[in-house]
Amino acid sequence: MPAVLETTRATARQLVRSETPARLRLWSALVIVMATVLLAATSLVMARVREQVRVIGREAAPQAVTAADLYVALSDMDAQVTRLLLTGGSDALAGTRVDALGAYRQRSRQADADLQRSLTTASGPAERAVALDLLDGLAVYHQRIGQTRSALDRGGRAATEPGRLPPDALGHYTQATNILHLRLLPDAQRLRDAATARLDRVYAAKRATEATGITLAVLLGGALLALLVLLQRWLTRRFHRTWNPALLAATALGLLLVLGSIIVLTAQAGRLSGARDGDLTPYLSLSRLRAIGYDAAADSSRYLVSANLAVYRDGFTAKAYCLGATDPLAGYRCGPGLAELAGDEALRRWQAYQRDHERVLALADSGRTGAAVDALTGIRRGDAAFDFAYFDAAMGAATDVRRQGFDRAWRDAERVLRGWVALPLVVLALIVLLVAVGVRRRLAEYR
């Protein structure tokens, strides 16, 4: 009987002894498979997020900026044309005439360049069709402006009184500014809306990818760490050893990879979201206000060249209401105003121009058109041209700060993600190596 019991015990020990290497290999294989799955998930998520960050910074955001700049260029282009026509044939205003003509040509080139970029970055046929329609409309606009200037030359530009246009020249100019307001600016707004919608879609897709990545990191990383801890405990119980240093190092590396990927995804998401809310969206809103300011200033000149048409007085009043939006109703109807986006100093400079505008209109209404033109084109402090340039300088500085802030945050987000497509591969190789080192000596005991 004792011999039988001893034989049974020996057989059991042999079975356990033969089973242990298989279980050890199974544990090791499970750890390696889970580490591989975590590597694949982390690398794919990081590659996807990096591509989405690239699209935001190199395609979607520049497309929105181009559409906003196009709207500004078109608004100022017509304002410069109006200033050019306002000077008539006056030798005293020759400097203003040359400056306005140069600014008109520069804004025309800017609009053409923005439209070419819009054609190359359009994300669909609908946007491309709008850009092509804008190119066609812009050609018609320039044709009407050319006809206006030809009518002035035929009527004798030198004899044209500042602030007044011959009827045929006024007719051509009215057609041109109607094309701008009824065709070009609405189409430019459609391009801007499409670019903003694309930006929204890319940001939403990136948020979804980040959420997926964090979820996978928690689930797969947690599973990997659990397997490593369980393997450690099994080895400790089976072989009556203390903790395995190689497996401890592999567990630490797995934990660092999981925490690092979560921190990186969260950090770049915070930077880009903050940059959009704090810089890009205000930039686009400031560009809109700047375009409104140009168009409002043009209304001051249009009022004079149109022989005091009330529609331009009313147009200026409506635009000034949006620019100076301080009450909740104005904010609801027009969006954020100057004080909120550009600061109180920009608002004060705009209010100074408003006072100049009212003085110009008062002079024109009293029949003193020449004095009104002088007040509108003068370059001394207190003259409309000076005060508007002073206001526009504040707007330009504010928009530059916002644009630079977004570009800086985008570059930071790219730097944060740099290397994270390949880094998980390095960590995986180290984990596999450490697991192999950790179990090799235990397996050697069964050879």
146: its two tokens: 């050319």
* Paired tokens of 57: 């910074």
Provide the pLDDT for residue 159.
47
Average pLDDT of the segment spanning 131-147: 93
Decide: residue 30, CB within 10 A, 0-12 exposed, 13-18 middle, 19+ buried: middle
Give the pLDDT mean for 320-338.
77
Mean pLDDT of 349-360: 92
Angle in degrees, 0-180, between the axes of helices 185-239 and 245-275, rounded to the nearest 10: 170
Quickly state the pLDDT bin for 95 (edges 50, 70, 90).
confident
Q: Degrees (nearest 5) of the Cα angle 194, 195, 201?
A: 90
Query: Is the pLDDT reported for residue 149 higher than 60?
Result: yes
Q: Would you say residue 438 has pLDDT above 70?
A: no
For residue 280, pLDDT beyond 50: yes
Pick from 235, 353, 244, 229: nearest CA to 294: 353
Residue 56: predicted pLDDT:
93
Rounded Cα gap, residues 446 and 384, in angstroms: 95
Q: What is the mean pLDDT of residues 247-276?
A: 89
CA dihedral 84, 87, 93, 96 (to 10 degrees): -20
Stretch 128-137: mean pLDDT: 93
pLDDT category at 5 given cuts 50, 70, 90 is very low
Q: What is the pLDDT of residue 419?
A: 81
- Count, residues in the chain: 447
Of 58-62, 137-141, 193-197, 323-327, which gets the smallest average pLDDT?
Answer: 323-327
Proportion of the chain above pLDDT 90, given as a percent: 48
Rounded to 10 degrees, the C-alpha dihedral 85/88/89/94 comes to -60
Structure tokens at 188: 């430019």
Q: Which amino acid is at 329?
A: L
- Name which residue leads in pLDDT, 156 or 164: 164
Q: What is the pLDDT of residue 327?
A: 67
- Quote the pLDDT of residue 17: 46
Q: Are 205 and 211 in contact (CB under 8 A)?
A: no
Query: What is the pLDDT averaged over residues 426-439?
Result: 77
Residue 12's pLDDT is what?
42
Name which of 307, 318, 360 is nearest 173 in CA terms: 307
Q: Is residue 93 scored above 90 in pLDDT? A: no
> Which of 62-76, 121-135, 236-250, 425-439 comes out lowest in average pLDDT?
236-250
What's the pLDDT at 2? 55
Per-residue pLDDT, 224: 85
381: β partners: 383
- Comparing 86 with 296, the larger pLDDT belongs to 296
Residue at 76: amino acid letter: D
Q: How confident is the model at residue 11 (pLDDT cuts 50, 70, 90)?
A: very low
Give the pLDDT band of residue 88 (cuts 50, 70, 90).
confident
In the predicted model, is pLDDT for residue 342 greater than 70? yes
8 has a pLDDT exceeding 50: no
User: Is the pLDDT at 15 greater than 70, yes or no?
Assistant: no
- Taking alpha carbons only, the member of 198, 260, 192 closest to residue 427 is 260
Residue 100 has pLDDT above 70, yes or no: yes
State the CB neighbour count (10 A cutoff) for residue 167: 10
CA distances from 234 to 25, 69, 156, 231, 241 (A): 12, 66, 102, 5, 10
Percentage of the chain exceeding pLDDT 70: 86
The whole-number pLDDT of residue 36 equals: 85
pLDDT given for residue 157 in this prediction: 53
For residue 160, pLDDT over 70 is answered with no
Are 346 and 293 in contact, with CB atoms under 8 Å apart? no
